[in-house]
Amino acid sequence: MTSQANPDSGSCCTPAGTCGSGASPEARGGVTAVYRVTGMTCGHCEGAIAREVSALAGVVSVEAVAATGLVTVTSAGPLDDEAVRAAVDEAGYELAGRA
């Protein structure tokens, strides 16, 4: 599941979920981090994690995949791992660390 950050939070993304520059977040200087999360088993799990992590400041997109246990987060700059851990915990899952 992929979730776009709120366009009012300084993201270049429009409400339709498209980026105004046409370039990927990485090409615009963004950062992508991949985390291993335990306990995800279905689409509901993916959605819960994506919603909580998307709420972190600077997050552009989140992709959570239950089948692999991986959560890929693209953000405007580096994220604090403890903030990501807290968001995953709030969703009811456990961050095992970076993949």
pLDDT tens for each residue of 15-64: 434 444 455 545 556 999 999 999 999 999 999 999 999 999 999 999 99
Grade residue 3 by pLDDT with cuts at 50, 70 and 90. very low
**Residue 18 located in a structural domain:** no
- The residue written with tokens 């992508």 in the block is 32
pTM: 0.73
**Residue 81 located in a structural domain:** yes
**Residue 59 located in a structural domain:** yes
Q: How far is CA 80 from CA 33, 58, 84, in A?
A: 11, 11, 7
Q: What is the pLDDT of residue 23?
A: 56
Does position 14 have pLDDT exceeding 80, yes or no? no
Full residue range of the structural domain in which residue 54 is found: 2-8+29-98
Distance CA 57, CA 77 (A): 10
**Residue 64 located in a structural domain:** yes
Count of structural domains, the chain: 1
Q: What is the pLDDT of residue 56?
A: 98
Q: Kindly tell me the sign of the dihedral angle through the C-alpha atoms of 93, 11, 2, 44.
A: positive
Q: Kindly tell me the sign of the dihedral angle through the C-alpha atoms of 72, 65, 7, 14.
A: positive
